[in-house]
Amino acid sequence: MTALFADLVDFTALSEDVEPGVPLRILNGYFERMSRAITEHRGYVSTFLGDGILALFGALQPNPWQANDAVHAALAMRREIEVYNKEVAAEGLPTLALGVGVHRGTGVAGLVGSPDLLQFALVGRTVNLAARVQDLTRSRDGDVLVTRAVRERLDPRFALRPLPKAEVRGVEGAVETWAVDGFEPASGAGEPVRAPSR
């Protein structure tokens, strides 16, 4: 399976500078748009964690294109956040910055929780590493980062940029990551989708 973990940058601090109730409205609009981008690319939104999102690809049914789908979803999320930022800026509200980490691996998928609250989740290192890679977007030049396991399965038309190896908490050894700068469509299919300047 492929896990996509997305999180907003400094949303907690941002939410302290606006009127009560506004952060929830901003967050709900964000979740709506990000969820749509994920499901349109055959992903499943597993859970919301504060202002974070865990999405799974290839978890509910076999999907040999799951790595491509996850990264296409991440690029769609990038486009959606740009459109949404124009809407919130028009209201005089602070804009949002998104970080996404994508990793592919194995895990145990199923319902977890209590009789009062059950969620479909993936348990294992795959989700943890996707979250750690997302954390690296704070210190790396890139808002969408993928691991080697994802890179090896990607369509070569994705524009990837290698980043320095990094130590991440809970993982033995340095982790290799690549920033996703965009996707080069087939000739004549339009302009490539590029990363926003940071």
CB atoms within 10 A of CB 110: 12
CB atoms within 10 A of CB 35: 17
Comparison of pLDDT for 197 and 159, the residue scoring more: 159
Residue 121: closest CA among 37, 1, 40, 27: 1
What is residue 198's predicted lDDT score, i.e. its pLDDT?
Answer: 46
151 in Cβ contact with 178 (< 8 Å): yes
For 49-103, what is each residue's pLDDT tens digit? Answer: 889 999 999 988 889 999 999 999 999 999 999 999 999 999 988 889 999 999 9
Whether residue 193 is predicted with pLDDT greater than 60 in this model: the reply is: no
Question: Can you list the domains of the chain with their CATH numbers?
Answer: 2-187 (3.30.70.1230)
For 90-130, what is each residue's pLDDT tens digit? Answer: 998 888 999 999 999 988 888 888 988 887 777 888 999 99
Collapsing DSSP states into helix, strand and coil, what is residue 69? helix
Whether residue 162 is predicted with pLDDT greater than 70 in this model: the reply is: yes
Return the DSSP state at 61: S
Tell me the backbone φ, ψ of residue 168, rounded to 5 degrees: -125, 150
Residues in the chain: 198
Per-residue three-class SS string for 111-169: EEEECCEEEEEEECHHHHHHHHHHHHCCCCCCCEEEEHHHHCCCCCCEEEEECCCECCC
Alpha-carbon distance 155 to 61, whole Å?
21
Whether residue 189 is predicted with pLDDT greater than 70 in this model: the reply is: no
Region 34-61 average pLDDT: 93
Q: Which amino acid is at 130?
A: A
Structure tokens at 125: 């290192």
Angle between the N-to-C axes of helices 22-39 and 66-90, in degrees from 0 to 180, rounded to the nearest 10: 150
What is residue 122's predicted lDDT score, i.e. its pLDDT?
Answer: 78
- Confidence band for 172, pLDDT divided at 50, 70 and 90: confident
- Confidence band for 192, pLDDT divided at 50, 70 and 90: very low
Whether residue 38 is predicted with pLDDT greater than 90 in this model: the reply is: yes
Whether residue 40 is predicted with pLDDT greater than 50 in this model: the reply is: yes
Burial of 62 (0-12, 13-18, 19+ CB in 10 A): exposed
Region 36-48 average pLDDT: 95
Region 16-39 average pLDDT: 89
